Structure 1
């Protein structure tokens, strides 16, 4: 899943070496749905997530020269998206207050709101802290390895592993899901 295809490698090389905006546009097309889906899970607001995704891709174009080829390109993009999301959240300190005024439910109440209308994943993620939600989304929804999640979130590998374990336990406890060991 995280394998870099020959097409992607070619596009990265063209975008880097020749500042080829068209090649970068193709890279965006390849990865925009994963980046947008990640941001939608984080922001819980489709329009805001799409705005942040747009900002993330513009920033990625400006910072393309910093992509070293270490790790996956999608991991690099998701790191930019995550940092852009955090920056956006810091800038709008009144974010939750404004959403409440517009009639949106705060995160804590999301689990009691029309459970049929949201997917199981959204329901499970709603009970987690922002950091736990980011880690779980990067790992499970985006398919990054624990090492890539560690790089993306700027957290030690051990912290990522314990956040994942703690998040799973929170979800199991809240939704009374039995843990089955596969052996």
Structure 2
């Protein structure tokens, strides 16, 4: 079988991000941005949680229709998605979140907040999503034991599983050292 050109293969990273995006929305998050990029780097998903059912409330002292709607439960998350296949070298993507990568994510988040100052007062968190990807074999036979996943998807000949979601995966106060 001839090797197909790289353009023939789906972007596995994007498929993993799509799965995490759908899962976040199903759990009450509103996606604000996908693949936000600037000179410092890229953030895969930026999402906002707008508090519990019942809607947001005006902050104390706010008056008028255009007041900021923020609840105690409002939060912004900056999500790094790591999509890996079996036999990967970096613990499913966990060891790819180095201090240098964390600093890049932090700087990129600062640029996002500067571009969207109305979001600057929200508490922020850096999360990591670990997605396992496996090519679907047409000849698959037998029984396999699979660890339970938070979400699954089959697309473009691949089975994707949101294996782990790590809220507050690293501290947002990164030294520039």
Provide the TM-score with structure 2 as the length reference: 0.26
Tell me which protein shows more helix as a share of its residues.
1
Structure label with greater radius of gyration: 2
Provide the TM-score with structure 1 as the length reference: 0.26
Tell me which protein shows more strand as a share of its residues.
2
Which of the pair has the greater relative contact order for Cα pairs under 8 Å at 6+ separation?
2
